[in-house]
Chains A and B, each alone.
Chain A
């Protein structure tokens, strides 16, 4: 069974540029999560989707971050404009349901110059 797929794996951009990350969850998983992981820290939840509905986005900086999960499958996380402090690893995870085991993708490593 294929795991969570994320792309790109690495991205280098200049500050003030937009950037987007894509996630394809495990087939059949209704719940999708985006996490942010700063260097030396554990992952922190940004947003959680139940199917196509964002049910917990309290930690998402809405002035520059946005996310969508059209049709309740793939998801895209966008930053516009990117700032130097956004340099981090962006992780996507999925689970069959909200109380069930989450499986993580490899992450996208973002460097903002």
Chain B
């Protein structure tokens, strides 16, 4: 399994950009990087995913380095409702665990007023 490493916690001021890093140095060429978040007492919420190119949607932007060994999730204008645990996951692309999401500890993002 390609493992990911994320900081345990981060803080961000409301209205500022939140940049959440993730290392995935053992990622394979056909494995996607997925980001989910989990707000307290809710199920994980899909944010964005990418393979090689940078991606943007209505929630966030995903920047993947050229060597694909790390990525950054960007929330351009963080709000208090963005306070959550953010998970960076490499989606397995082969074997019996094809398509399996393996969640780590994630990053606890706290957005302050």
Our verdict on whether A and B bind, yes or no, reads yes
| Known contacts A58-B96, A98-B99; is-contact A107 B46 (Cβ 8 Å) | no
Number of A-B contacts (CB under 8 A): 52
Q: Is B91 an interface residue (CB 8 A)?
A: yes
How distant is the Cα of A102 from the Cα of B32 in the complex, in angstroms?
13
Q: Which residues on A sit within 8 Å (CB–CB) of B99?
A: 31, 48, 95, 97-100
How distant is the Cα of A56 from the Cα of B100 in the complex, in angstroms?
9
Partner pick for B43 among A95, A100, A101, A106, CB 8 A cutoff: A106
Q: Assess whether B98 is in contact with A42, with CB atoms less than 8 Å apart.
A: no
Q: Is A32 an interface residue (CB 8 A)?
A: no
Minimal Cβ-Cβ distance residue in A for B49 = A101
Q: Assess whether B91 is in contact with A42, with CB atoms less than 8 Å apart.
A: no
How distant is the Cα of A46 from the Cα of B54 in the complex, in angstroms?
32
Q: Which residues on A sit within 8 Å (CB–CB) of B7?
A: none
Interface residues of B (CB under 8 A from A): 34, 36, 41-46, 49, 87, 91, 93, 96-106
Q: Can you identify 26 A-B contacts, CB atoms within 8 angstroms?
A: A4-B43, A31-B99, A42-B104, A42-B106, A43-B44, A43-B101, A48-B99, A48-B100, A55-B96, A58-B96, A91-B44, A93-B43, A95-B99, A97-B99, A98-B99, A99-B91, A99-B93, A100-B99, A101-B49, A102-B46, A102-B101, A103-B46, A104-B46, A106-B42, A107-B42, A107-B43
